[in-house]
Structure 1
Amino acid sequence: MTELVLEKVSRWYGNVVAVNDVTMTVGPGVTGLLGPNGAGKSTLIAMMSGFLAPSSGEVRLGEVPVWRNVAAYRDLGLVPEREVSFSYLTGRQFVQASAELHKLRDVRAATRRTLELVDLVDAADRPISTYSKGMRQRAKLGSALVHEPQVLLLDEPFNGVDPRQRIHLMELLTRMGEEGRTVLFSSHILEEVEQIARHIEVVVSGRHAASGDFGAIRRLMTDRPSRYVVRTSDDRRMAAALMGRESVRGVTLGRVGTGEAITVEVTEMGQFTLELPRLAREAGITVRELVPSDESLESVFTYLVQS
């Protein structure tokens, strides 16, 4: 029971609609929930974790509703964005309290194992009030992981985490995804999502804007041309040959990165990939490099927000 299903889920506060008719399925592996600040990501995670009731629609863990279902918490772990309220506790006490709430058979062993997992053993007996932001984040993660949930939800988990801790956390989430657990984390920082989550769910202004592999999502955006960088043995002649082709919207010749290259805006990718080698062969030109220049998650996100 590791699949989260949201079916026509909405949440409003008075006249303010935070989430509007979202349907999505989050399965095993690492999924990035992407959107700008205020897009509704935190509200969605709160509903997924059973801490907030949908105003309409339903959130299920497998076939079981999450809201008002205490048994579902055994399979869920939540790392909220908000700070730890019980900062007077030590890291060990904080993680152990979660183990006791879940009525684990060996609370001390579970606490010890989890502190090792989140790299907090050395600071385990210090009050959380003395922790750095990154250490507090790891304490929250430990509390969410102590009962070994099959589904882990994290709200902006990389905020305030230093580079070393960021790498450790990314490796941990990746490993959990590879083990078959369902891991979903929200972020408004594009490179965070791109590094560890090939599958993304994009939320913009409370609405579900896109779902899937970010490269595949980009290729479906046929109303906006793809952009490629082409380097050849004769860029000027190649650029002239490409101009006026039906599959090409625009051609620019100039410096790209460390050298000269052709930037081509393509409206029909399939047709372009057939035409380019044919034109090069007819002109006696060698194509040395052909790479997409806008396949990054940033390009996808910018397009979706602007739409």
Structure 2
Amino acid sequence: MIDTLAFNYRKQLFAYDPSHVKGLSNPLTKAQIKTNNIKMNAYEMKLFLNTILLMNGDLIDEFDSVYKFLITFIKIVDIVMYEEFSDDILNELRALIVDHHTFYTTGFKEKLKPKHHFMVHYVNCIKELGPLKFLWCFRFEGKHAEFKKYANNITSRKNIPLTLATKYCFQFCSYLFGNSFFQNDLVDCKNFSPIDLSKLEFYQNLCTKFTIGNEVLSMRYKGVLYEKNYYVKSKNTVLLILKIFFDLHNEIFLICQECKTSFSEKFQSHEVLGTNNAYYLKKIDLKSVPSKLYTLNDGKKVVRFF
């Protein structure tokens, strides 16, 4: 059992990635926990789910049944967000959903809701339609927050839908005329500096003909922040970003070093144990969103990709 005050203390002081700060939810109250009525929007819940073990995993009994249920749910969310699936992964997803629903009805004594029924069809939907992350309504539902702000700021109550639609039209025109709507894929890219890759001590290990280009310390590509000393995942290998490199054709590459890692079942994260003498020149893609290195309360260094 974790004290509410201690839980909120860890939650608020957790070293979040700067790009996740906007997803911080309000502290939990005893009344919310007692009534099982925790108020969060979708983005806040997503961040909360992906960081709860990093914040409080060291306080949780690994043999606790509710903890095992949480692990099952996190695994389901992680798998559903994959972009590629094998038969083994789909079979694992089907088994996890069965375990989730079984404990939900027997452990919590709750009845399944319609959204639980939808989960039963996840595997078939993936087989028929492909990765579910390309079909979800997450970004569309995110637009609700904007209209809620409009509704709180207007005083007209005669025709609220028309007022909201008109206000949004003005906002959209502002985007268009302000050139903030049509942005390049690459933004917030600063501090260019020339670099000669051939002078790197590990250049021979990169297996590339590239030598001259430009280096940046950080950049935002298609809304995703890439920084030096962040980590990316390539299949089952965790890579440390050493340099962000542009060739003469403005193609973007990451110069990475392979890490020694061990997957922690308790924290559902990769514990970083060191680095190997293996280097890669990896063309940038969005299959693995970069992660910062998190230091847990017990001193372990981990990365979690979400």
- For the criterion TM > 0.5, the same-fold answer is no
User: Which structure's residues are more often helix, by fraction?
Assistant: 2
Q: Which has the larger radius of gyration?
A: 1
Structure with larger RCO (C-alpha < 8 A, sep 6+): 1
What TM-score do you get using the length of structure 2 for normalisation? Answer: 0.29
User: Which structure's residues are more often strand, by fraction?
Assistant: 1
What TM-score do you get using the length of structure 1 for normalisation? Answer: 0.29
